[in-house]
Amino acid sequence: MNIYSATLEDLEHYFESIDEKKFKAIQVYDWLYKKRVKSFKKMSNIKKTVIDTLARDFTISQPKIIAKQIGKDVFKYLFELDDKAKVEAVLMIHNYGNSLCVSTQVGCNMGCAFCESGRRKKKRNLEPSEMVSQILLIEEDLNIRISHVVLMGIGEPFDNYENVMKFIKIVNCGKGIDIGARHITVSTCGIVPKIKEFAKENLQVNLAISLHAPNDELRNRLMKINKVYKLEELIKAVKEYIVQTNRRVTFEYIMLKDINDSKKCALELAYLLKGLNAYVNLIPYNETSHIDFKKANEDRIMEFYDVLKKNKINVTVRKEFGSEVSAACGQLRSNYEEEN
């Protein structure tokens, strides 16, 4: 097992299982996440016999950064994992802090029509260590502190549920990376049973729903998941989540030119979300050479925004990132692998 996949509780149980005091777990976490050492041998306040046992039972490897693109307020990274698979992460500089968009799988099986990641099928889930390392390596590379994490990169987080929950515990742990729960967002395309399970986790983590269409006919065309869980079922699960957690939900809506950007769509969306403790995040589409969808015109986006506002729907337009880089999710990975 990679040591970066271990929660603090995992390590406490581990040390008790080898007849050592469980406080050693805090010492190891301090070395990993505060002092940021990358070798067990550098953990100088832990006796050698324990270090040797740790080295026998755990690995401490991290992925490699193999490509980096820099744009205005954005850094896009491509990582190579131990098995040579590749994933991306994107750091976005906001006025409220540094937000990292983390990948959760190698490829994705959700098959959303507009998504570059879904064009490349899922090869495997990421381990917690491979998600945690995206944060650690970028913080080290840029000498910064990442304050917000969004699980919205390559992959569907709820299709890798157990590993994602462990990742959240590790990065939220005060003895670990120590990112506040309310600064962590999990985005799902709408796997209803997992939304219901997530509601029972008793976390202060944010939930975002990738919606992108206000009716079943259009969403069926854009997102295969809607053929399994229709909008009525999805919205019902979201309502249950809000009641159970008393937390607001974000609905992400990518603006696609002449597809889902009409006034009619805006009115349908307003009706669908009426009365929900939620807000809509309108996202300008990042175009890619592999997919024919185009970004909605700016004036069309603002008209859509105005319709939602007039219908008392909380709405924002996300700041555009990455026009100078391979901005679409999975695009840098696709370009790199096809060129090499």
Cβ atoms of residues 86 and 66 within 8 Å: yes
Phi and psi at 71, nearest 5°, equal -130, -170
Structure tokens at 308: 């939602």
Count the helix, strand and coil residues of the chain and give each as a percent rounded to the nearest 5: 40, 20, 40
* Burial environment of residue 147 by CB neighbours within 10 A (0 to 12, 13 to 18, 19 or more): middle
d(CA 272, CA 229): 16
> Which amino acid would we find at residue 197?
E
Strand-pair category, 64-71 with 206-210: unpaired
Q: Put residue 123 in one of left, alpha, beta given phi > 0 → left and psi -120 to 50 → alpha.
A: alpha
Indicate which residues carry an active-site annotation.
Answer: 88, 329
* Burial environment of residue 318 by CB neighbours within 10 A (0 to 12, 13 to 18, 19 or more): middle
**Rounded alpha-carbon distances, angstroms, from residue 174 to 181, 218, 277:** 11, 43, 29
> What is the dihedral angle through the alpha carbons of 164, 120, 282, 303, rounded to the nearest 10 degrees?
-170
Determine the 3-state secondary structure of 283 from DSSP: strand
d(CA 65, CA 5): 19
Q: Put residue 73 in one of left, alpha, beta given phi > 0 → left and psi -120 to 50 → alpha.
A: left
Radius of gyration of the chain (CA): 21
d(CA 35, CA 228): 46
